[in-house]
Structure 1
Amino acid sequence: MTYRLDFTVIEKAKGYCRYALSLHNLTDQALHGWSLYFFISRCIDPASVSVGTISQMGSYSCLSQLPPLEANGHFYTEFTMRTMPFNLHDDGIREAFIALGNDQHQIAPLKVYTTAINLDQESIERYCTPLPNVGCDIALIPQPNQLTRLHGEFVFNQTTAIETPPALAQGAINWLSAECKKHFNETMPIHPQGNIHYHVSNDIIEHGYQLLIESDNIWIQASSATGFVHATSTLLQLLPNSPSHAANATYCVPMVEITDQPHYGYRGMMLDCGRHFHPVDRIKHLLDHLARYKFNTFHWHLTDDEGWRIEIDAYPQLTEIGAWRGPNEVIVPQFSHIDQRYGGFYTKQDIRDVIAYASDRGITIIPEIDMPGHCRAAILSLPELLKDPDDHSVYRSIQNYPDNVLSPALAGTYTFIQTVLDEICALFPAPFVHIGADEVPKGVWSDSVACQQLMADNNYHDPMELQGHILRFAEQVLRDKGKRMMGWEEATHGNKVSKNTVIFSWLSEEAGLECVKNGFDVVMQPAQSTYLDLAQGYSADEAGVDWAGKLTLDKVYNYHPLSMIASENSERQHILGIQTALWSELINNQSRFEYMIYPRLLAVSEICWSTPQHRNWDDFKARLKGQLNYLDKAGINYRHCE
């Protein structure tokens, strides 16, 4: 260790907190002309810094104009943030480095070791969810609508085969074979006299299924490809985690009769790959588990201020520049890896591969291309197309960026949107494309002659009406391609888009209610109940963030979307379903990725699939105990309940 940074809370009140930062030079060499770079998630008041000058771009912060740091000496400064006080270690400074000299384009980082923030608060015991001592022998999640336990078992072994299946079941069989290979080290054979039977039955509701396991045969009936997948997910959950008879590798599956169908048609998870890049193998691993727990939608957040993650043939700069950040890159570091080049993107072949993989598992992939806000990576990649040098508007986004919003007065903006969405629509077969539309800050477009002229030409009275100008163009582009637009709930502000747009309500339950009452189809995703980046308990060492509160397992399970609307009220038809989300500001490795998702994902799966009358917290905990045995075998780093 050569340099150590300590960060301490020294004063706090509602909406105000003062901090002390100490940097220790543990070497025998003094530092002159040095600057300190670090990651912090909130804005520092520049006037409050006692020693040095602060500059920030997003979470990337630089303290400069600092006095010499003597050998075996230390540097000390204080500053204020006018936000709620921190109460998690993850709120502190997690990475830092020192740079010498004034050349901002040739930084040679000197690594700094950072200690956990001293929060100046009493410790809180770890939050636990005690599970029953004995779990259920049939531990299915989500809970089926109807399940009858029969007497006896089906012996699943290397001689088990699938009867020649209908084409509609091919995806489910591809998935079953891949999973069986993990058990038996070979794929599931298909034979005219096989004893696993997939049959099409048009009497079964779309996406529903019937599963009958007898002593000699397994019978699966469905009317759709997704119905066959859901039946297969149930069958896979019934397989024990280890052989019932190790000598001949046989698995004894309980005989059951199940009739099942989903409560909500839309059952989704959103993954943010803009803030941190998640490789294809990680995506596929997640898709396996989304299918296992009967999700049917993967919402792929592919672009944001901090990274552009999808190949666009017309604009190679989007991935040559926009997919990478670092101290010497066009896009400065954010969140982690701040002393090195970091990033990645998906080629179109990667995307096709993942789409096919998801399709076998009954999962539709919806891409998100954020606009007009959250576009900093795109704007810095294509400045000649997307920057207006005569726009002098001053603003700061909620993530602390002054330059992340597309201009509605530039012809290049519309060329960009048309070109990108054309390629996105050609690549993704889903009937939907999500365009973000959230968090456009006040002040944007207010000091632009071209934007003021555009407002006058269209009789607009508020600069924020220009957001609708862009969104309506995007909506028309997608409609011309046979796609339906989706957006966060800010898309509805000011009557910006048509009622054909599907709205994702993230701010609150009340915001979702307002959208429903205004006639929008809605997917409920309120942060307070569905955001998996929120901390899972109350102690300081819990991983995650807490801007929307803490999100414990029981709080997830007890979420009832828009319960204030009566079941017989026709407005409930506008509730398409539920989505959970993992925002990735602090998710930069597989271990943390899994820790934040599991086991809360299983609770979400049940509120998506099972009817309210089939949901019971104590029963869920008993079944969860059995599922945790599977997660153990799969090597998943879930948060332990006890």
Structure 2
Amino acid sequence: MKPADYRLESSWNPGGGPHGAFTFTLFNLSGAALSGFKLVYTSLTRVIDATACANATFLRRNANFHEFEPPAGLTLAAGESWTFTVAGLHRPARHCTDGAKSAYLTLSSGKHVPVAVSDLLLEGRVSEPPPVLLPEGRLDLPFALQPWPAEIDAKPGDSFPVILYPEGASADELSAISTCISLTRRLFESDHSVFNLVTSPQGRALTFNKDASLDAEAYRLTFSADRVTLSYSSSAGRQYGLTSLAQMLNGARVSQGKFRFPVSGTISDHPRYSWRGCHLDVSRQFYPVDDVKRLIDILAWFKFNIFHWHLTDDEAWRLEIKAYPQLTTTGVLRGPDEPLLPQLGNGAEPVDGFYSQDDVRDIVAHASSLHVEVVPEIDIPGHNAATLVALPELTDGQEAPESYHSVQGYPNNALNPAVPLTYEFLEKVFDEMVELFPSSYIHIGGDEVANGSWLASPLARKLMAEEGISGTFGLQSYFLKQVKTMLDKRGRKLAGWNEVAHGGGVAAKDSLLMAWENPQVGIELAEQGYDVVMTPGQAYYLDMVQAEAFQEPGASWAGTVPPAHSYAYEAAGEFPEELKHKLKGVQACIWSEHFLSRGYFNRLVFPRLPAIAEAAWTPKASKDWDRFAAIVTLSPKL
């Protein structure tokens, strides 16, 4: 890799303004003089006062995109640097990832060249290193099970079988073992397989028992010195039983002495919640197909059964829709000279990326083979900056530009409920989605529509007068009711974020809402009759920082979320007994603003993802943080 010709270093001074101030220093390492340039960086800590800079001129901002130019006539000789300060920020920087995430220069020739960026430093006080977040842990029973089962009464053996092999298995049961072999080999490529289809004198026999009295996702394992019996009623329970065997035998192999394999007794297991979900935002950062499939493998390993695929947002529309090819040409292409400007992590080179319909079929089939349901999300009506650039005919041409801004700083980014073409567009999108996704749910977002959206639109004002609608959220409710009708016609149920209930909401029947803003919202939704999935940012958002230290990476709007808190959080919380049937489950959310590398992904997602898996599966009375900490180090990662 070629060394950087330019580097941008930054620090944050808490006392430099109402929300502190950045100090940026650009170093010219190119060996040639630099003049007549502009500097762009992307940052979640946005500038809202264009005048509050020193030794630079603020030119423009689009959400997280910021452009500056140096003082007139400035020339940087090789090895020289230019320093400027930026105050007027919309919030303070709290962590090292709150500074510049990417940067580039636009030269006087118009050429764009990359600039390397460094982590944000803290001025004026000691920057403590991040603390250790996971104790060594303690084991009462030495079994490597993630999540821990509902009931276990098993005795560890002094040795373990080299392999487990089927005896008297049907063709369907052999296929299930083969699927589990493939899953284990993908997750642990260098480890010895835990199953074999051929009898082995060094192994232990595995027999199957079809037991109709068990629930669909339940299983029972019975151990003896010469065999293991797996009882199940459906293919899902059978897979979970095989996965538990794979975990225990693999753990006993790779950590001999710490973990062992049962020689007698039983494990009787079933999930706590029916919805055990994990969400992935692929709009802010694009994940290749193989990465998405590996995440699904990890979900299957931890017995999650829902993959919530967040396919569209302001940054990009990632799902191929054949009726609107512009969505995955214009609507995904970001760059200095493209209609969509660079955002978090984007630099001098244009970036794109989307999932073709063949990609989607491949991913859905992969997930289905592992009993993971793919719930797709197109986020509407807000979070559609990319959509509206790709399809400008969806806008009200009379609406004033920048008449409202989203919380992320995007101007006029919501689909307009008063533009008739909006509904034609969505009808065609849903037609293609139902052919691709067999899930009974389609998630329609419904979150973070800025109060004041559409009020400068003459078409919207006319619709409000005709229909007696009051305000932004009344319009949103009107819009989402039309969307729910579209889904009903196609035999699909509506899922959405908790704001779907705003302004009168949609009918509660066949609607499932996700409580993300805070835990109390979930109870309020249940009181209104909605089925609820709990995914509060304060416990289950995996982009949140895990410690208060400035050097800890991640977001902080929902506070600090250490793994111990994610593990201990109880979704049922204060739910009254009469409402607990409305609580369908829990979900981890992976928002990708901070995930510019695999290293950041793994650091922030693990061990909190397996912690949430245990919250979704294991009874409250059986949870044990020290036991979890002792086992979770075996977790596969992306």
Provide the TM-score with structure 2 as the length reference.
Answer: 0.90
- CA displacement, residues 557-579 of structure 1 (integer Å, 9 cap, x when unaligned): 1101142234xx12011111100
For 2:399 and 2:522, the matched residues in 1 are separated by 35
Q: Any conservation in 1 of the 2:378–2:445 contact (CA below 8 Å)?
A: yes
Structure-1 residue corresponding to 2:291: 282
Structure-1 residue corresponding to 2:607: 599
Structure-2 residue corresponding to 1:120: 124
Structure-2 residue corresponding to 1:448: 457
For 1:155 and 1:612, the matched residues in 2 are separated by 30
Q: Pairwise mapping of residues 214-613 of structure 1 onto structure 2 (< 5 A)?
A: 214-241=224-251, 243=253, 254-384=263-393, 386-392=394-400, 394-500=403-509, 501-566=511-576, 569-613=577-621
- CA displacement, residues 255-285 of structure 1 (integer Å, 9 cap, x when unaligned): 4411111111111110111110111211122
- CA displacement, residues 320-363 of structure 1 (integer Å, 9 cap, x when unaligned): 22222122222111111322122311111111111121112211
For 2:337 and 2:178, the matched residues in 1 are separated by 45
Q: Any conservation in 2 of the 1:162–1:190 contact (CA below 8 Å)?
A: no
Q: Any conservation in 1 of the 2:500–2:513 contact (CA below 8 Å)?
A: yes
Q: Any conservation in 2 of the 1:17–1:82 contact (CA below 8 Å)?
A: yes
For 2:73 and 2:383, the matched residues in 1 are separated by 38
The more displaced of 62-71 and 10-19 is 10-19
Q: Which amino acid aligns with 1:424?
A: M
Q: Any conservation in 1 of the 2:12–2:120 contact (CA below 8 Å)?
A: no
- CA displacement, residues 175-230 of structure 1 (integer Å, 9 cap, x when unaligned): 21314655557984379xx9423332110123111112333332212222221121
Note the residue ranges of structure 2 that are not aligned, 5 or more in a row: none
Structure-2 residue corresponding to 1:640: none
Structure-1 residue corresponding to 2:88: 81
Q: Any conservation in 2 of the 1:310–1:319 contact (CA below 8 Å)?
A: yes
Q: Any conservation in 2 of the 1:17–1:85 contact (CA below 8 Å)?
A: yes
Note the residue ranges of structure 1 that are not aligned, 5 or more in a row: 638-642
Give, in angstroms, the shift of residue 252 of structure 1.
6.3
Q: Which amino acid aligns with 2:334?
A: R
For 2:277 and 2:18, the matched residues in 1 are separated by 35
Q: Any conservation in 2 of the 1:180–1:187 contact (CA below 8 Å)?
A: no
Give, in angstroms, the shift of residue 555 of structure 1.
0.8
Give, in angstroms, the shift of residue 417 of structure 1.
0.8
Change (3 A) 1:172 1:593: farther
Q: Secondary structure at the match of 1:325?
A: coil
Q: Any conservation in 2 of the 1:398–1:439 contact (CA below 8 Å)?
A: yes
For 2:408 and 2:141, the matched residues in 1 are separated by 45
Give, in angstroms, the shift of residue 288 of structure 1.
1.7
For 1:482 and 1:535, the matched residues in 2 are separated by 40
Change (3 A) 1:5 1:118: farther
| Count of aligned pairs | 618
Change (3 A) 1:136 1:329: farther
Change (3 A) 1:173 1:133: closer
Q: Any conservation in 2 of the 1:502–1:522 contact (CA below 8 Å)?
A: yes
Give, in angstroms, the shift of residue 13 of structure 1.
8.3
Q: Which amino acid aligns with 2:45?
A: R
Q: Any conservation in 2 of the 1:153–1:215 contact (CA below 8 Å)?
A: no
Give, in angstroms, the shift of residue 53 of structure 1.
2.4
Give yes or no for the alignment of 1:43 onto 2:41: no
Change (3 A) 1:562 1:121: farther
Q: Any conservation in 1 of the 2:35–2:74 contact (CA below 8 Å)?
A: yes
Q: Any conservation in 2 of the 1:491–1:497 contact (CA below 8 Å)?
A: yes
Change (3 A) 1:180 1:31: closer
What is the aligned counterpart of 1:138 among 143, 154, 163? 143
For 2:317 and 2:246, the matched residues in 1 are separated by 36
The more displaced of 523-532 and 404-413 is 404-413
Give, in angstroms, the shift of residue 65 of structure 1.
6.7
Structure-2 residue corresponding to 1:99: 106
For 1:549 and 1:172, the matched residues in 2 are separated by 42
Give yes or no for the alignment of 1:206 onto 2:210: no
Q: Any conservation in 2 of the 1:135–1:626 contact (CA below 8 Å)?
A: no
| Poorly superposed stretches of 4+, deviation over 6 Å | none
Q: Any conservation in 2 of the 1:268–1:579 contact (CA below 8 Å)?
A: yes
Q: Which amino acid aligns with 1:55?
A: R
For 1:617 and 1:186, the matched residues in 2 are separated by 27
For 1:308 and 1:171, the matched residues in 2 are separated by 37
